[in-house]
Structure 1
């Protein structure tokens, strides 16, 4: 049973700030280990199934056919509208930009996509789940860009397995050195055209593999998933509306019920964290100071250990806004690197083509994801004009009416054409690594505050020449592969979407072995303040190529295990 609290003088064993992917896991792990845990969420309560108000609604069931009125976008969603998942059936899961202002440095742009409610962006994420490899954990050390990760793949592999069995990751074992295998449920099927492209690319380019996408979807639920009350994925590809089947992993479908059933979980919703309460005499955090989301009153909560899981930028804002005589520039910031080394993934390169010869083929359902070409530049090579590499999301599809609606035509014949499937197409989209650079920074604005009286963030983040050259290469390689295997009408290019558009913010409170150059140690624990942990993307030392959420989860479970040991040993 979940207990919702407002005022409380209880000293909890643990406070978890944030309820998204990392916060949900932290709360589950603490509660299942018997610790009384308070989860603080700045937004409203979202109940599983009940509050998925857009679920199952077709465009014609919505007042504007899934479009959001321009007046509402201009007033509330000027940034959020840029997210691929934003529409009339999902807009209630996105932040209100009017109430959530931030600034960007002159001449820069940044998209900060936010979902401030119970469950956070776990309700909206795209569910791709890939392990990092030792090539990723070693990358900074090998080329000298960024600080060395204080852990390696072997430190995390068992935690990956634990998480994956609970979450449910579909995919197939491939034995690739740059992309370790997970604990898999069966993958979604590849279409006949995808199988054709796979065979051709792998024959023409022996160093490149075309594999099933790995996603947090229950293609065939196991006992552990059925016990969570979750069911099989129906391949509707409407996941961002919410899924009453619980077929994709979210806080609501999985970790929150597990934490609640222990009786150890309390939740403080509508509680905007202002700062952390620091005791300089003991060099420990005592608790958390919050502002009520609705009436702007202040209150405090207390605990023995604090896990900050508010998303990379949200967590950094809290840390920067917690100052004292010892830490005038943000709590646990003796290194001076808090807020620096902001990263995102770069999705700006693409290629597509027509596939001939499969006019009698189609597919069943709407598979919620595609296929994948793992990074084939994982080995350092001084001949390349850029460091690191990229993966490529991919897939084949048939043009439908929404693809053809802008084509030439008129009248009955044109309408009948729209009823028929069009050409088979194949696309590639790059996901490039972004180097950790000191100058990519987030800081508190000196004068501007939000409605809760908290200083706004000022973000100064740009892609470097390294990322630009990488995307140019990805577009060229994408086109080269498609032409080589005989596809027709090949096109490619590079967009100019800014950082933040990948929604994979990372790196502003990074881990490291040296307290002089990092905020956290290898267990996501603050070097400076022993009972402070940060387990979301802020802790990353590099972005790697892979989607980061699976690693967020594994790091969080490992950190909770460590924190509980330290609590029991009375070292926190």
Structure 2
């Protein structure tokens, strides 16, 4: 007879398990606890507490040892930083990112895998641009034959977009533009005067929209925000360090306190989920197996439903590592699509220019957003040699005292000259859609393991001809707009970059109508195991050209609502 510690099993049993505490994990925990479930959230990294653990949030730049420059030691630890991805890893924020030397991966082709393993995940460092997908985004796969048809349409997410927008707090302008659907917005952040001029001229000369970036920064705090301790944005633009004011949306500032207020959430840190445990008798998942990242102690937790929100690549990695008699190719991987169709946005190409005039105009504070130019290519009557489209992000600014670094001069007069604003300039960078392609994938190298015995993730991803044609257009189109509105010293660019640098990886466990070609159904359930839901970037069947996090959040809220209703009906 097998001796079971029944009390231990009970103490490790919950209504739901959420794997990961980033943007979607936080939403899953909030929704499930608020609907009455006792939830366990498992985070593989350390705990980062709101406010007290944002250790650089109030540090002046001159108090950093390297004045925000990256040291040689840092460059050796972070592959993405060494390759020039300055946004991802900076001196004040590097402590929030995982070191590639400590947690290596394999690149059959170059891929910049940016990770943040701690409570809140990358919700602490995300760019916060928040846009709805449009109707065409959900239909494009079916129309042009790339990827599989989405099992849902815009109308299925419309109300869920509104639901999450209200709680997140998205500032922006309603524009009535089909390519960029309007949402439930807080008051917008202001345009700078050259930006307002650019907006008017581009509309007049091209009929294209230039709007203010829709961002998850509170321009005003509503009751739902103050109820979890948030207040309005302070216009410091130091968001990547963690915001002690809760001025931008993160797990720590919003969904985690909301879930904790229910007293139905248990958070366990340092918990690396190694596999999903499948119950062959009942044909469902019964829990997860976890290894403590410091002690290597293995623990099992059990639940009626499991939400996988570890992130696009970690979620797929866990699925591939979860093998059983039923799932010999990895959990839910009958279609052999787990790990495939890996996409990231196609960015790094655009143009910059100088702007004459507006010498009497300046700005106050540091606005944490900029301009957004939504998609206009392959839209309406426009037809290009490439498929799908792109948008632009960036904005205007005036040169500051840093411009003196490369100027000749010395003495008091030179110093005084740098105390006045420099010339106006503008830079806009394209962000384009990457087509789904099952040859673009991540998989396990089972002969090479990390220090916890997990197979190393291997990347085999590259941009195709369509993406390369699009990059040329990103530079050319923006240069054309600058010239038309009278800007000077126009400099198109295409900065070298690898897939992954957009930090919008998605698609490794895609949704679809047919279990033979997809992993998830229209409700984000694993086709062959209905009590497992995946709502992070893994679920995406295509990439659109807008920042994806708002869509992840809407999918998560929708799936959580469905899961609870199915539990009530005893269908799971």
**Class of the TM-score when normalised by the shorter of the 2 chains:** over 0.9
Check conservation: 1:83, 1:501, Cα contact below 8 A.
no
Check conservation: 2:130, 2:548, Cα contact below 8 A.
yes
Check conservation: 2:378, 2:384, Cα contact below 8 A.
no
460 and 381 in structure 1: CA distance in 2 versus 1, 3 angstrom threshold: farther
Structure 2: how far apart are the matches of 1:173 and 1:113? Answer: 33
Per-residue Cα deviation, 1:295-333 (whole angstroms, up to 9, x for no partner): 111111111111000110010000011011221111001
What does 1:250-289 correspond to in 2, within 5 Å?
A: 250-289=250-289
* 1:211 corresponding residue in structure 2: 211
Structure 1: how far apart are the matches of 2:74 and 2:530? Answer: 45
Q: CA deviation at 1:379?
A: 2.6
Q: CA deviation at 1:404?
A: 4.1
RMSD in angstroms over aligned alpha carbons? 1.5
Query: Of 88, 99, 103, which aligns to 1:100?
Result: 103
Equivalent residue of 1:301, what SS? strand
Structure 1: how far apart are the matches of 2:403 and 2:530? Answer: 55
What does 1:441-520 correspond to in 2, within 5 Å?
A: 441-520=441-520
Q: Does 1:67 align with 2:69?
A: yes
Equivalent residue of 1:130, what SS? coil
Check conservation: 2:378, 2:387, Cα contact below 8 A.
no
Per-residue Cα deviation, 1:64-109 (whole angstroms, up to 9, x for no partner): 22234312431x323356351422211111112222111011xx20
561 and 156 in structure 1: CA distance in 2 versus 1, 3 angstrom threshold: same
* 2:36 corresponding residue in structure 1: 34
Check conservation: 1:380, 1:388, Cα contact below 8 A.
no
Check conservation: 2:22, 2:119, Cα contact below 8 A.
yes
Equivalent residue of 1:347, what SS? strand
Runs of 4+ residues over 6 Å off in structure 1: none
Check conservation: 2:433, 2:544, Cα contact below 8 A.
yes
Structure 1: how far apart are the matches of 2:381 and 2:107? Answer: 35
Q: Does 1:148 align with 2:149?
A: yes
Structure 1: how far apart are the matches of 2:480 and 2:382? Answer: 22
Check conservation: 1:135, 1:378, Cα contact below 8 A.
no
Structure 1: how far apart are the matches of 2:74 and 2:210? Answer: 42
Structure 2: how far apart are the matches of 1:484 and 1:272? Answer: 54
357 and 31 in structure 1: CA distance in 2 versus 1, 3 angstrom threshold: same
Structure 2: how far apart are the matches of 1:172 and 1:325? Answer: 53
Check conservation: 1:9, 1:302, Cα contact below 8 A.
no
Check conservation: 2:80, 2:501, Cα contact below 8 A.
no
Q: CA deviation at 1:412?
A: 3.8
Structure 2: how far apart are the matches of 1:378 and 1:273? Answer: 42
Check conservation: 1:405, 1:418, Cα contact below 8 A.
no
Structure 2: how far apart are the matches of 1:382 and 1:551? Answer: 26
What does 1:5-20 correspond to in 2, within 5 Å?
A: 9-20=11-22
Q: CA deviation at 1:10?
A: 2.8
Structure 2: how far apart are the matches of 1:339 and 1:372? Answer: 31
Check conservation: 1:354, 1:423, Cα contact below 8 A.
yes
Structure 2: how far apart are the matches of 1:402 and 1:500? Answer: 30
Structure 2: how far apart are the matches of 1:239 and 1:470? Answer: 31
What does 1:320-339 correspond to in 2, within 5 Å?
A: 320-339=320-339
* 2:181 corresponding residue in structure 1: 180
Structure 2: how far apart are the matches of 1:428 and 1:504? Answer: 18
Structure 2: how far apart are the matches of 1:365 and 1:85? Answer: 23
TM-score, structure 2 as length reference: 0.96
* 1:201 corresponding residue in structure 2: 202
Q: CA deviation at 1:223?
A: 1.5
The count of aligned residue pairs is 563
Per-residue Cα deviation, 1:191-230 (whole angstroms, up to 9, x for no partner): 1111111111110001x10111100010011121111211
Per-residue Cα deviation, 1:327-359 (whole angstroms, up to 9, x for no partner): 111100111111110000011211011111111
Equivalent residue of 1:530, what SS? strand
Equivalent residue of 2:499, what SS? coil
Structure 2: how far apart are the matches of 1:258 and 1:136? Answer: 32
8 and 497 in structure 1: CA distance in 2 versus 1, 3 angstrom threshold: farther
Q: CA deviation at 1:540?
A: 0.4
Q: CA deviation at 1:378?
A: 4.6
What does 1:63-462 correspond to in 2, within 5 Å?
A: 63-74=65-76, 76-79=77-80, 82-105=85-108, 108-206=109-207, 208-379=208-379, 383-462=383-462
* 2:550 corresponding residue in structure 1: 550
Check conservation: 1:80, 1:94, Cα contact below 8 A.
no
* 1:48 corresponding residue in structure 2: 50
Which segment drifts farther, 143-152 or 219-228? 219-228
Structure 2: how far apart are the matches of 1:404 and 1:154? Answer: 53
TM-score, structure 1 as length reference: 0.96
Structure 2: how far apart are the matches of 1:443 and 1:85? Answer: 24
Check conservation: 1:29, 1:560, Cα contact below 8 A.
yes
Q: CA deviation at 1:567?
A: 1.1
Check conservation: 1:14, 1:38, Cα contact below 8 A.
yes
Q: CA deviation at 1:428?
A: 1.3
Structure 2: how far apart are the matches of 1:476 and 1:7? Answer: 62
Q: CA deviation at 1:419?
A: 2.1
Equivalent residue of 1:79, what SS? helix
Structure 2: how far apart are the matches of 1:357 and 1:537? Answer: 44
178 and 450 in structure 1: CA distance in 2 versus 1, 3 angstrom threshold: same
Structure 1: how far apart are the matches of 2:34 and 2:136? Answer: 34
Check conservation: 1:17, 1:308, Cα contact below 8 A.
yes
